[in-house]
Amino acid sequence: MQDSSPASPQTDDASELELTDADILDAMQHISGYLDISTEDFRTIYHLAHRHAMERLLGGFRAGNLMRIGIEPLLADLPLDQAAKALVRSGFKALPVVDEKNCVIGMLTETDFLRQLKVDTFLELLLSMLDDGFEFQHRCHETPVRAAMTAPVVTVTQDAGFREVVAAFHQHNGRSIPVVESNGRLLGLLLRKDFLAAYHLPIT
């Protein structure tokens, strides 16, 4: 059963906008009174203020603060038909696959199922099933999770900061990342939508 109430995070770094002299001069014109400051001084103040703001907003973020807990992972030898049922029960689009020590060795996603069924989308699968001559060529009950899972898998530790999590999500198109201990043991699941929503970023 998933824990659907992730804690609010605190957080580490984000790109700042590079100001031009025209930007600075325009801003200075909107400040009443006389300013004895150069554009270079203004730019320095901006960089320092931005760094301070990012540290205040993002410096305390850790992946462990935002991860979903209570994840029921899949075992590599589990047949795909049973794995599909577990995936539906979980409410997630993907689940971690672990070994006998609960270390993450892969990720099983809805896309992995589509790949096994040799279609690109669920709509394509539905249209195929509506065809009178359609019959499943793939025997899911005879195929173990290890044969379909995505591996190696991108993971982050519970102490991963903002920039590390962003980099991890950029490494793959998945909707979630397993959060692990330093030895690879599963702790939880960090959902892309939770991460983006926490910082009011557009969800793609």
- CATH architecture label of 63-198: Roll (3.10)
Looking at this protein, which amino acid is placed at residue 25?
L
155 φψ region: left (φ > 0), alpha (ψ -120 to 50), beta (else): beta
Pairing of strands 104-109, 94-98: antiparallel
pLDDT at 113: 85
Give this prediction's pTM: 0.68
pLDDT at 39: 86
pLDDT at 102: 97
pLDDT at 9: 41
pLDDT at 134: 53
Task: Provide the H-helix boundaries in 33-134.
Answer: 39-58, 63-66, 80-90, 110-116, 122-130
pLDDT tens string 172-196 = 888 999 999 999 999 999 999 998 8
pLDDT at 139: 65
Q: Give 134's contacts (C-beta < 8 A, 6+ positions apart).
A: 128
Pairing of strands 176-180, 156-157: parallel
**Residue ranges in the chain whose pLDDT is less than 50:** 1-13
Could you tell me the residue ranges of all domains in the chain? Answer: 21-58, 63-198
- Separation CA 108–CA 97 (nearest Å): 7
pLDDT tens string 102-132 = 999 999 998 888 888 777 777 776 676 676 6
Measure CA of the first residue to CA of the last residue in the chain; give whole Å: 26
pLDDT at 132: 60
Residue with tokens 């014109």: 29
pLDDT at 15: 60
Query: How many CB atoms lie under 10 A from the CB of residue 119?
Result: 16
If we measure between CA atoms, which residue out of 94, 101, 99, 62 comes closest to residue 77? 99
